[in-house]
Every structure is written in structure tokens, then in C-alpha cells.
Chain A
Amino acid sequence: MTAYCMLLPDVLGLLVFVFIPIIYAFYISLHSWTGLSDMQFIGFDNYIKMTKDRMFIKSIWVTAKYALMYVPGVFVMALLMANLLNALHGKVQSFFRTAYFLPYAISTVIAGIVWSFMYNPMNGFLNQIIVLAGGEKMKFLASPSQALPSAVVVGIWLVLGYNTILFLAAIKDIPKSYYEAAELDGAGPVQKFFRITVPLIKDTSVFVLVMCAIASFQAFDQIKVMTGGGPANATTTSVLYIYREAFETFEMGYSSALAFVLFLIIMVLTLAQMKLLKSRDD
């Protein structure tokens, strides 16, 4: 009983402000609708249409590539940085914590603008460095092959500090005595990391992995600012494509249908991910 009462405010809120809208979006997906006039019921036509939609299929591919770079990137780097911070002490640690956290305070839109400065093929900072080191200028966001990895870097940069803090909090929670015991057994730093740290921060790891995966499937803001999905749609992620269908083409019904399929894909992947991470433990 207590449990239900404690869940009530959130469940009610999610029901009204997220779930009902989702159901309504599903209802819209069964219609042809510009948002400007009345809806026309067309059954599952929107879902049939997308099987032939080259652009949507390409966008899923782009999203998958983004996720495959972004999730491990954030996870590994945040974990390593958290360990690094943990090894530093007192004021020094708190200084670097703040330094690493800085990007998180910047809105994604502004991050997109600033990184466009960094990536500018003519005189951006990165090319200045490359030229100094005797290299050939790169095109970064202007190249169909480099644009997506460049966008991933910005995505990682934005959330790295925050996830580092999450890991750091979990690591701090591990009793020191564990490490001391391991040292007595002659374990080196690497062994301590894999035998003690990694297993004991599992709950946080699951959280970071699952949330990063979900976030990577919804990558949008900084990409819209930096490349607008280009060049030649090389960075058009599914969410960007869905957004365009809704608010540039005004195909509300079709974009809702796309979103639903994306929703199912993320759902299946997330549940599989959570299952996998759980079963490892047992």
C-alpha cells in the first residue's frame, strides 16, 4: 500500500504528461495529418510507407553508428576519468572535477556553435594544430565521412563530466578495506580495478550504459546546429529525420509512425541490454 502511495505522484505525472501523449501520438500515426486540417484515418499506411523510405532506413543506420561510437566512448572514458580523479586528493581533485564538469553547463546549441568554430576547415583550432604538426587540413563536419564521428565527439564532450561524477560517487562508496585486503594478496592497480571497482559499481554502470544508449538514439540538438543533418544526409539521425518530417514537411501522421518504430527499436534494445547486464551478475 505504502509503495503504491509513494509511486502515485510520479506514475500519475508520467501517465498524464508522457504516456497519454504517447498513446495519442500512436493514434495520430494511423492518420494522414498535416496538423493544419482534420485528420484522415488511413490505417497502417504510414507504417507500410516507411518500409520503402530509403531516408528513414539510412537514418537508422546513421543512428546506430552514432550509438556504437558514443556509448562505449562515454562509458570507458568516464570510468577511466573517475578512477583518475579518485586517485587525486583534496583540493586538486575538486579542481579537476570542476574542470571536467564545465562542458555540461553549456547548452547543446551553444556547444554546437563553439565546436563549429573548432572544426572550421579553413582556420578552426583543430586544423591550426594539425597544420602546426605538419599534417594535412581535415574537413571535419564538411566531409560526409568525418562529420558523424566529429558530431559524436561533441556529444561525448558534453556529458563526459557528468557521467564521470556518477562513477566517482559510486567508486567513493567502495569501502577502502576491500582494496587494502587485495593489496595484501598482492593485487596490482589493474587487478584491483577489474576485481573490485568494476563489480562493485555495477548498478551505476548499468544506469550509465542504459541512459547513454537511450541518449544516443535521441541525438539531435548539436547535430541540428552543426550540420543540419548534412553533408548529403551523413548526419541525419532518426530523431532529426522525424523532426523534419513533423515540423518542416508537416507530415505529423507519418512522423509519429516513424517515432513509434524508433520507440520499439529502442525499447527492445534497452530491455535486452538490461537483461544482459543483469544475467551477467548471477
Chain B
Amino acid sequence: MKKKAIVSLILCAAMVMPTISVQAAEAKEELKFWVFHSDQELEFFQECVDQYNEEQDSVEVVLEQVPWDDYNGTKMATAFASGEGPDVFLIAPGLFLKYANSDVLMPLNDYIAPEALADFSESSIEGVSVDDKILAIPFEMELLGLYYDKSVFAEEELEVPTTWNELYDAAKALTTDSRYGFTMETTKGTHQLFEWYPFLWQSGNDVYSESQDAAAINTEGVLENLEIKRKMFEEGYANIKPSRPNTEIGMLCEGETAMQLNGSWAISQMKNNYPDSMDNIGVAPVPVPEDGEAATVAGGWKICANANSKYADEAAKFAVWMFGDDVARTEKWCTDIKFAFSPRQSVIDANEELYHEGLNGEFTDKILGTEKPEMRLPAEVSTILQDMLQSAYFDTGISVEDSVLIAEESLNDFLSGYDGAL
């Protein structure tokens, strides 16, 4: 009797279920727009989409949310590989070249008005262009800085470090039984690489030689920096296993560390989650080598249109409408929904006050202007460098020199057989 009840229940459910699957309304062309945001950020995108759908009649944009962990990787890869890729999506520098070299990104030059284009910083457009084709539109800019706990520095009567050696000394002085002096990303990945770029550039180095046909990483500056970091990890002054990803300012606010390499996004995080810590946390430029030049890295997402989409033209129009046209949406995103710098000068000009209050001001006055855009490396190069950082920081079975040497060889090997864009 019981069994029959269960079976019939399942059968009933089975009959109802197909109606729960979502059927697309076939009336209009439908553009799929995938984002990975939630809460007020998702609401912002939804509002924009609603507005766009109201303003025009040719397409209906549908916003779909994908959890962050799998946005870039599995979900996007599977969708594109089976011809089900979204029409409009967001892209980070780490994967830009893969998409660009596969001609998946729709050139947007013809869609952007010249006045709007002139508003973007030159380097931000360079970062998304291949052979003068603009393949994506940047809509935010996140800078990296050195956050620190003011009261801890005051207690120890220490100055905030400005050079690598001072960073080491400060980390050493501030380390206790329950606190690390310094925290940076330890997990292999694009974020660890992101945090390394400033140190690479500060000593005047780069990943490739100027002619872009050989590796240029085996230099004194690179070695010196990696040695210092290995020493900090080995001697226990740097956080060898941060309790969470190093994008989270919580580790600094909760006292796990006295200094933390983190991005400008951390300011909004603090405002939302640690309002009491706001006064106690300061931010300074990333320390440089002796006589080095200040440099930091600028990250941030870009919006792009799928060139293989059935409605590529409409997709391009929407992507440009979103962030490459009226500055209002970019402005709202960077100044109201979250705090970020903008690749568009007019946003910074129009919000003088916001960009100069508190920690924002520290970034604007001391760090902004020294940034270079996050490198758009081919995935293979990125992997080689990620492995280099891992073995240089943690693998005591191999010297820092050898770690760099191996990476240099692999890199030269790769470059000799590569003919895509760099």
C-alpha cells in the first residue's frame, strides 16, 4: 500500500515536472546575458536589463546568474564547446586571449561612439584590443595596495614599509603567536599572479622581452623579490595558509595579519562587513625595491559580445549600451553599487569628493597613476608563471634561481611555437 502511494506520488510529480522546466517565450529574439554577481550587484544588472528591454523592441535580454566559482571555467567552457554560449558575458584578462584568438569576441569598434571612446583611458582600451579591434569594454578598475592595521603599527612604533626590505622587517617585527606580519595569496591561480605583477614591474622587468619573442623574467629584481617572500614564508612572518582567499579584508580586520596585500574592492567589503574597523585600517602603495619605481596593477572585468551568436549584432549593441555609451551606468556601478576606479575619466572627475574621502583618497592620491593593466597572458604562460611562484615560495627542495630558470625555459619553449596575439 505504502509503495503504491510512493509510486503514484512520483508519477504525479513526473507529470507536473516538465511544466516546471522553463520554456522560452518565442516572440522576440532572446539575448542571454550571464553574470556572476549577487545581491545589490545582481539587482543593478537586472535594472539595466529591464531598462534596455523597455527602451527597444528588437530583442529581449535575459539575465542569467552563474555562481562565481564556475562562471569562468566549467559553465562557460561547456556552454561554448556545445554552441550554447551566452550572447553577452563578462571576461577577465586571464582568459581574454583564449577568447580573442578563437574569434569568439565581437569587434565593437563600429558600435562605440567616438565621444564615448575618448572618455576611456588609453591603456584600458589597449588592454582589450587586438589589431585595433576593440573586443570588450572595461567597466571597472581595481587597484592593488598594501593594507595595514594602524593600531598595531602604532604600538610597535613602526613606519609603514615603503621598500621590500622594510616590508620584511615590518613583517618580522609584527609577527606574534597569534598574528602574521604579512598576508598575500598562497593558492596557485590567477589571483596569486595578479598580486605578483606590481613586484615584477617595480624593478623595471616584464614577462617578455620587448620584441615579445623571449622570456625576460630571469633578472635580479625578480629573484630578489621571490627570495624575500620565500624567506618570509619560511621564517613564519608571512601567512603560510590564510584562512580564506586573500581577496577578503576580514583577515586584516579580525587580526589574523598586520599587513595585507589587497585590492580597492576591500573598501566596500569593509564598509559592509567591518564598519568598526574603517578607522583602524590604512592603505599604502605596494612597497618597491631600493630605488625602484612605484607600480601597481589594475584589474577589473570587461563586458563583451559573442561573435558566434545568432544575434551577434544585437549582442554588441547591448554590450556597448551597458558600459560603452552613456556613462551613467558605469558611474553608478563604480560609485554607488560598489567602490571601484573607472577606466572612464569622466566618472572620476564627476565624483571628486567620493574619490577623495578616506581610504578612497589614499588610493586616488598615492596609488592611482602608477597602475598598469593586469596582463592578458595566454593561459599556458599564466600556468608557467603560476607554477614558478608556487615553487619559488614554497618548494624548499628547489632553489628560487632554479624555479625561475625552469619557468624561463618553458616560456621560451612556448613562445617559439606560438603565433597568436600577445
Contact = CB atoms under 8 A, between A and B. Distances in A.
Nearest to B74: A247
A119 B395 CA distance: 19
A228 B187 contact: yes
B188 A121 contact: no
A120 interface: yes
A176 B419 CA distance: 73
Interface stretch (B42-50, B208-216, B291-299, B383-391): B383-391
B81 interface: yes
A233 B389 CA distance: 11
Contact of B98 (A119, A120, A123, A250): A250
Interface residues of B, number: 35
Nearest to A252: B81
A35 B77 contact: yes
A230 B81 contact: no
A268 interface: no
Given A36-B98, A36-B99, A37-B104, A230 B188 contact: yes
Contact of B241 (A142, A246, A247): A142
B103 A37 contact: yes
Contacts of B104: 36-37
Interface in B167-194: 178, 180, 186-189
B81 to A, nearest CB: 4
Nearest to B233: A142
Given A228-B188, A230-B188, A231-B395, A249 B383 contact: yes
B240 A139 contact: yes
Name the interface size band of chain A: 20 to 34
Contact of B73 (A116, A120, A144, A247): A247
Contacts of A108: none
Contacts, number: 86
Nearest to A251: B379
Contact of A231 (B74, B99, B180, B186): B186
A229 B394 CA distance: 13
Contacts of B391: 232-233
A250 B98 CA distance: 8
A141 to B, nearest CB: 6
B397 interface: yes
B188 A233 contact: yes
A106 interface: no
A218 to B, nearest CB: 16
Contacts of A55: 387
A140 B189 CA distance: 20
A141 B73 contact: no
A141 B243 CA distance: 11
A34 interface: yes
Contacts of A123: 178
Interface string B73-114: 110011011000000000000010011011110000000000
Contacts of A197: none
Interface in A135-150: 139-142, 144
A59 interface: no
Nearest to B389: A232
Interface string B235-252: 000011101000000000
Given A35-B77, A233-B390, A248-B379, A139 B395 contact: no
A121 B240 CA distance: 8
Nearest to B81: A35
B163 to A, nearest CB: 27
B303 to A, nearest CB: 18
B256 interface: yes
Interface string B272-301: 000000000000000000000000000000
B186 A122 contact: no
Interface in A225-282: 227-233, 244, 246-252
Contacts of A251: 379
A244 B81 CA distance: 16
B393 interface: yes
A33 B102 CA distance: 10
B390 A230 contact: yes
Contact of A122 (B101, B103, B180, B396): B180
Interface string A83-126: 00000000000000000000000000000000011011111000
Contacts of A144: 394-397
B135 to A, nearest CB: 13
Given A34-B102, A120-B243, A231-B186, A250 B77 contact: yes
B188 A229 contact: yes
B380 interface: yes
Contacts of A37: 102-104
A232 B241 contact: no
B379 A250 contact: yes
Contacts of A246: 77
A139 B233 CA distance: 11
Given A116-B241, A144-B396, 14 more contacts: A35-B78, A117-B243, A119-B241, A120-B241, A142-B394, A229-B188, A231-B393, A232-B390, A232-B394, A246-B77, A247-B73, A248-B383, A249-B383, A252-B77
29 contacts: A34-B101, A36-B81, A36-B99, A37-B103, A117-B243, A119-B241, A121-B240, A122-B180, A139-B240, A139-B241, A141-B241, A142-B186, A231-B186, A231-B393, A231-B394, A232-B391, A232-B395, A233-B188, A233-B387, A233-B391, A244-B383, A247-B73, A247-B74, A247-B77, A248-B73, A248-B383, A250-B98, A251-B379, A252-B81
The 8 A-B residue pairs whose C-beta atoms are closest, nearest first, are: A36-B102, A35-B81, A232-B395, A247-B73, A231-B394, A142-B241, A37-B102, A249-B379
